[in-house]
């Protein structure tokens, strides 16, 4: 039974209307969520808590939601946690008066820094009872920690963490806890530390919070009229919020609007707006042009060149547009014509990387184009030969504080979609219509701005020619997209069946390359003794928030790269694997060193196989604990534009594996992989 529809008993008697939300109450909910694996229960605990916030302290709904999804702000604000273990250990030691050695020993034994903090805090006798932590206070404290920069930043971060920890678990201090029993307990110190590490590990996915939030608000609204929502009322609220969030992924904008206008009026009040980046639509890999023809049989589609650069979502509002940027990202470019921003695939603000693009952008805009959001690829450009350059060239461009006059790697922007124009969201318009608008609103300028090359054809030979031409002109292959009807609408954050990618170099392999997280390394042998010679890689399982190992890799690295990697990785060595790493426990399978999860690498493989040594998608393939692993993996490049959580997912890997199996065994089609 959905508990959110049940009990009316007040589970937090100390929390009175209008008073700040106690952090302890949120931790009690976290603990309940941690103790169950049942989806409905998780969602119910979450929604019940949010209903309580709505009833008692609605003005703190926003920080509550943010802490539940383990974020401090929308992605484009660039405020992130993921604090390294060594700083956290230092803060635990200093705030609880236990020696760093004790903390390190505990960490070796327990393996979960959150529990180490809980234990240390519970051992500490306190003279006076600190003021209880509040949700808003913890959010503010974490925000301060995340945004500290400049000289002495590390020390000041430690101070910030100490401040939070010294106020945590006031009720338990000095009592001691039994770690085994208290694993899922509601310790505030535990959840603060996990939040700092960037992983709450409650099994609480963001989409569950979104659904719970919609339900809670609908319950709350209807309760005011003495009514209880029906299943269809809840579904309506849920669909509305999901759809609004996909166009405007910013709780900072949505939550106040929900409270002001009510959930059912949200669509009218919250639409895609320049200034808030959307999560980009993604494509499914295909292995051949015939597969494309099979998938799109009977439909009209278009084949665009697949440029090899980095994704760039460009937002612009002219000064005379009678419209403002919803939220101006920190590095917004301002010209006499308007305000503009460039965001990455990750919704990271790239404006500091591209001052040259921001400066020229107003010159590409036709008279009458007042505001827009473009989906583009930014590609390195050879000004002498007048052609695109490989991605590797783009990588040599500085990422931050770029001065326009010092730029050596020029880029050309290739626009392939338009999502918003002159005050109107276009995501629910056909691609054919969007493209017309795109062509009509901009001027192409050679080497600066162009509309992606395309051909609308269903003919296999013509597609083959387009593919060959795209490769000859330095592209990776083709993006094939449905042209008409709802199937051609822009689907933010979805890996869609309606966008297919055909890359030149995977026509013969398993399909796409993989993006994997580096978890560990082995010391090199022979010539490579001063660096790491091989690495342990993992995919990500968003359902469990775990990294599941998938292969060791030692191929594809030049000596120069090995040296750079050694420098990067030695900064983030940790003593033992994080509790959210899933790997074989066999002695001979352990790497020489473990790392914080930070770097994502693109890797190619010959094929996939099952192995007891690795854990990738082990639950999904259900083969007695064996995971999927890569045969003959090869390093391609670092993916600085991807966060570890954006690595290939276990589900994607399971899908690739079953596709490979279905080729050999002729099984049916495999599962989908939408967010
Ligand atoms: P994925 O985004 O699928 O996880 P990825 O980031 O490695 O993986 P690919 O799958 O190789 O990217 O291809 C999709 C990317 O191709 C887009 O994110 C975009 O940056 C780029 N791209 C280049 N040309 C186009 C185009 N015409 N249409 C859409 N995307 C394009």
Ligand 1 pocket residue status of 284, Cβ below 6 Å:
no
Q: What is the pLDDT of residue 21?
A: 96
Mutate to test the pocket of ligand 1, among 280, 287, 311, 417 (most ligand atoms within 8 A of CB): 311
Element (H, E) at 425: strand 424-425
Cβ neighbours of 144 (radius 10 Å): 15
Higher pLDDT, 322 or 445: 445
Confidence of residue 212 (pLDDT cuts 50, 70, 90): very high
Distance 358 CA to ligand 1 centre (A): 22
Q: Does pLDDT of 7 surpass 70?
A: no
Ligand 1 pocket residue status of 500, Cβ below 6 Å:
no
Per-residue pLDDT tens over the stretch 47-60: 999 999 999 999 99
Per-residue pLDDT tens over the stretch 113-125: 999 999 888 877 7
Higher pLDDT, 196 or 352: 196
Q: What DSSP state is assigned to residue 33?
A: H
Ligand 1 pocket residue status of 307, Cβ below 6 Å:
yes
Q: Are the CB atoms for 428 and 345 separated by under 8 Å?
A: no
Q: What is the pLDDT of residue 507?
A: 47
Q: Are the CB atoms for 120 and 190 separated by under 8 Å?
A: no
Both structure tokens of 404: 């326009």
Distance 474 CA to ligand 1 centre (A): 15
- Whole-number Å distance between alpha carbons of 187 and 85: 19
- Whole-number Å distance between alpha carbons of 272 and 278: 8
Ligand 1 pocket residue status of 282, Cβ below 6 Å:
yes
Mutate to test the pocket of ligand 1, among 374, 414, 415, 416 (most ligand atoms within 8 A of CB): 416
* CA-proximal residue: ligand 1, atom 20 (nearest): 311
- Whole-number Å distance between alpha carbons of 670 and 216: 35
- Whole-number Å distance between alpha carbons of 121 and 192: 12
Q: Which residues are catalytic?
A: 306
* CA-proximal residue: ligand 1, atom 10 (nearest): 283
Q: What is the pLDDT of residue 82?
A: 83
- Whole-number Å distance between alpha carbons of 79 and 375: 24
Q: Are the CB atoms for 643 and 628 separated by under 8 Å?
A: no
Both structure tokens of 662: 């279905």
Q: What is the pLDDT of residue 180?
A: 62
Region 5-19: mean pLDDT is 69
- Whole-number Å distance between alpha carbons of 189 and 169: 7
Per-residue pLDDT tens over the stretch 323-374: 878 777 777 888 888 999 999 998 999 998 999 999 999 999 999 999 999 9
* CA-proximal residue: ligand 1, atom 31 (nearest): 306
Reference 54, options 213, 230, 236; nearest CA is 213
Ligand 1 pocket residue status of 304, Cβ below 6 Å:
yes
Region 147-154: mean pLDDT is 92
Mutate to test the pocket of ligand 1, among 278, 279, 280, 283 (most ligand atoms within 8 A of CB): 283
Distance 491 CA to ligand 1 centre (A): 14
Q: What is the pLDDT of residue 171?
A: 66
Distance 436 CA to ligand 1 centre (A): 22
Both structure tokens of 38: 């049942």
Q: Are the CB atoms for 77 and 45 separated by under 8 Å?
A: no
Q: What DSSP state is assigned to residue 385?
A: T
Distance 18 CA to ligand 1 centre (A): 48
Which residue do the tokens 């890797």 mark?
603
Element (H, E) at 207: helix 206-223
Region 267-281: mean pLDDT is 93
Ligand 1 pocket residue status of 452, Cβ below 6 Å:
yes
pLDDT > 90: what percent of the chain?
66
Higher pLDDT, 396 or 420: 420
Ligand 1 atom nearest 642 alpha carbon? 6
CA 653 to chain centre: 18
Region 542-551: mean pLDDT is 93
Q: Which residues pair with 601 in a beta bridge?
A: 516, 638
Q: Rounded to a whole number, what is the distance in angstroms from the first to the last CA of the chain?
A: 26
Ligand 1 atom nearest 311 alpha carbon? 20
Q: Does pLDDT of 674 surpass 50?
A: no
CA 164 to chain centre: 26
Per-residue pLDDT tens over the stretch 475-526: 999 999 999 999 999 999 999 999 999 987 654 455 578 999 999 999 987 7
Ligand 1 atom nearest 515 alpha carbon? 7
Please, what is the average pLDDT of the chain? 89
Q: Is 632 left (phi over 0), alpha (psi -120 to 50) or beta?
A: left
CA 424 to chain centre: 27
* CA-proximal residue: ligand 1, atom 4 (nearest): 282
Distance 473 CA to ligand 1 centre (A): 17
């Amino acid at each position: 039974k959905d508990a959110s529809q049940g009990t009316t008993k007040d589970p937090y008697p100390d929390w009175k209307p209008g008073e700040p939300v106690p952090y302890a109450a949120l931790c009690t909910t976290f603990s309940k969520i941690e103790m169950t694996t049942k989806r409905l229960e998780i969602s119910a605990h979450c929604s019940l808590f949010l209903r309580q916030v709505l009833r008692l302290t609605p003005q703190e709904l926003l920080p509550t939601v943010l802490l539940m999804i383990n974020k401090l702000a929308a992605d484009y604000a660039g405020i992130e946690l993921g604090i390294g273990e060594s700083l956290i250990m230092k803060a635990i030691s200093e705030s609880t008066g236990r020696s760093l050695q004790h903390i390190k020993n505990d960490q070796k034994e327990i393996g979960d820094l959150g529990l180490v903090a809980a234990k240390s805090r519970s051992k500490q006798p306190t003279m006076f009872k600190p003021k209880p932590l509040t949700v808003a206070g913890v959010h503010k404290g974490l925000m301060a920690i995340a945004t500290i920069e400049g000289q002495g930043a590390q020390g000041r971060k430690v101070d910030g963490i100490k401040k939070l920890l010294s106020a945590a678990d006031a009720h338990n201090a000095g009592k001691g806890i039994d770690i085994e029993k208290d694993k899922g307990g509601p310790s505030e110190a535990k959840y603060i530390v996990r939040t700092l590490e960037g992983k709450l590990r409650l099994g609480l996915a963001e989409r569950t919070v979104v659904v719970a939030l919609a339900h809670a608000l609908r319950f709350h609204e209807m309760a005011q009229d003495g009514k209880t929502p029906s299943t269809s009322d809840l579904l309506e609220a849920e669909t509305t919020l999901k759809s609004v969030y996909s166009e405007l992924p910013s709780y900072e904008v949505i939550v106040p609007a929900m409270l002001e206008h009510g959930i059912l009026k949200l669509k009218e009040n919250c639409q895609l707006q320049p200034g808030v980046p959307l999560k980009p639509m993604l494509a499914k890999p295909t292995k051949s042009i015939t597969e494309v023809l099979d998938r799109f049989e009977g439909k009209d589609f278009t084949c665009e060149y697949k440029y090899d650069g980095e994704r760039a979502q460009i937002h612009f509002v002219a000064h005379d547009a009678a419209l403002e940027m919803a939220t101006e990202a920190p590095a917004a470019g301002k010209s006499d014509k308007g305000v503009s921003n460039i965001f990455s695939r990750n919704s990271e603000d790239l404006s500091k990387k591209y001052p040259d693009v921001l400066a020229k952008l107003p010159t590409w805009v036709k008279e009458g184009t007042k505001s827009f959001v473009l989906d583009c690829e930014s590609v390195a450009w050879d000004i002498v030969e007048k052609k695109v350059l490989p991605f590797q060239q783009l990588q040599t461009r500085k990422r931050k504080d770029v001065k326009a006059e010092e730029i050596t790697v020029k880029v050309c922007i290739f626009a392939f979609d338009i999502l918003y124009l002159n005050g109107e969201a276009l995501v629910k318009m056909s691609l054919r219509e969007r493209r017309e608008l795109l062509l009509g609103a901009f001027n192409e300028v050679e080497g600066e701005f162009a509309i992606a090359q395309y051909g609308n054809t269903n003919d296999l030979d013509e597609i083959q020619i387009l593919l060959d031409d795209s490769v000859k002109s330095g592209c990776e292959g083709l993006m094939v997209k449905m042209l008409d009807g709802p199937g051609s609408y822009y689907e933010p954050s979805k890996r869609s069946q309606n966008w297919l990618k055909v890359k030149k170099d995977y026509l013969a392999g398993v399909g796409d390359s993989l993006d994997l997280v580096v978890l560990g390394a082995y010391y090199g042998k022979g010539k490579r003794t001063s660096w790491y010679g091989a690495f342990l890689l993992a995919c990500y399982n968003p359902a469990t928030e775990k990294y599941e190992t998938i292969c060791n890799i030692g191929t594809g690295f030049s000596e120069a790269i090995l040296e750079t990697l050694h420098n990067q990785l030695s900064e983030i060595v940790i003593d033992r694997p994080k509790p959210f790493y899933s790997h074989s426990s066999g002695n001979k399978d352990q790497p020489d060193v473990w790392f914080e999860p930070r770097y994502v690498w693109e890797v190619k493989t010959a094929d996939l196989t099952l192995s007891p040594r690795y854990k990738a998608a082990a639950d999904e393939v259900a083969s007695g604990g064996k995971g999927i692993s890569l045969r003959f993996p090869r390093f391609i490049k670092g993916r600085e534009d991807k966060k570890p959580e954006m690595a290939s997912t276990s589900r994607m890997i399971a899908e690739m594996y079953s596709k490979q199996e279905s080729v050999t065994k002729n099984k049916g089609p495999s599962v989908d992989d939408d967010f």
